[in-house]
Structure 1
């Protein structure tokens, strides 16, 4: 990659997570709905139990617990769509970029020649929401990357494309 003044300026501003010339593909917003459904399924029993306890004991201070559970649910409800909006991937000529995170940002670069295999998975909830996940495996366990929340057709296309690019790059070694 050629180092230009724009590259140096971008690096100086600290934007390490948006390389020049990269077109990012965002994941499906259905991922947010799936994650919020899991949150609701997890928090509703706690909310019901704390409300029941507050009603049965009839002590005003016990309403702090249902309020805390509701506040946690509200916080997660505001945070999850932003987290999903920060998930993106980009295919370049020699590697795949995966970006995630709001506060703690992460950019994973996986060279096609290092990929060993590509998984596509979709559990019952993911299938219900019409999404799937693509996971890339390399020789190093710390270099695996996953892209959640892809429409099934895009996940299949990406799997096939990454596998063929990986085989082509590996064959040249």
Structure 2
């Protein structure tokens, strides 16, 4: 089987047939149009169809980081004005600068997340300055876990975690649309069952 073959094409032992076109439509609904790549010619490159995370991931992250920024600012104001502790602005300023930097790079960072369903494995990549690419063989997957907090549920996104025997190859894909997370989970479980390699 080559890398161009679809991993979830139904076979004789596949429990649930999956239409690849319909699956891709679900996985790509509400995501970014193009994966953000580093400009260097020495970047980690991989041909194939990349799926990306939901655009709503940025909204959730902005709200979360914004709330933490406001909490730090409020604590600094209370300590400074009520308790007359002027020194608090030094650590508070450093922390707030960190949050502002995080918010500034968030859109670029979100567009660098991507995953690819290949013939024998799922490849996940993230990062632009520090790029990371992990390939998880379908037959080595032990657990596929979907989690989402209250804010994630409000915006209809979830986080999918793949657990393998080797902790270093575990992958967490954040910011998936709920339907995309469920479709990806079902696809991975179906394919993993047919590719099981003795675990």
| Smaller-chain TM-score bracket | 0.7 to 0.9
Candidates 101, 105, 109, aligned match of 1:79: 105
The two structures, once aligned, show a CA RMSD in angstroms of 2.7
**Residues 64, 145 of structure 1: alpha-carbon distance in 2 compared, 3 angstrom cutoff:** closer
- Residue-pair matches, total: 160
**Residues 167, 53 of structure 1: alpha-carbon distance in 2 compared, 3 angstrom cutoff:** same
Structure 1 gap ranges (5+): 3-12
**Residues 140, 62 of structure 1: alpha-carbon distance in 2 compared, 3 angstrom cutoff:** closer
Structure 2 length normalisation: TM-score? 0.70
Aligned-pair CA distance for 1:53: 4.7
Structure 2 gap ranges (5+): 4-40
Q: Which residue of 2 aligns with 1:163?
A: 189
**Residues 141, 71 of structure 1: alpha-carbon distance in 2 compared, 3 angstrom cutoff:** closer
1:153 aligns with 2:153: no
CA offsets, 1:20-52, max 9 Å, x none? 2x1111101211111221212212122123234
Distance 1:142 1:62 in 2: 39
**Residues 116, 67 of structure 1: alpha-carbon distance in 2 compared, 3 angstrom cutoff:** closer
SS state at 2:154 partner: helix
Q: Which residue of 1 aligns with 2:162?
A: 136
Aligned-pair CA distance for 1:63: 6.6
Q: Which residue of 2 aligns with 1:19?
A: 46
Q: Which residue of 1 aligns with 2:142?
A: 116
The structure whose RCO (Cα within 8 Å, separation 6+) is larger is 2
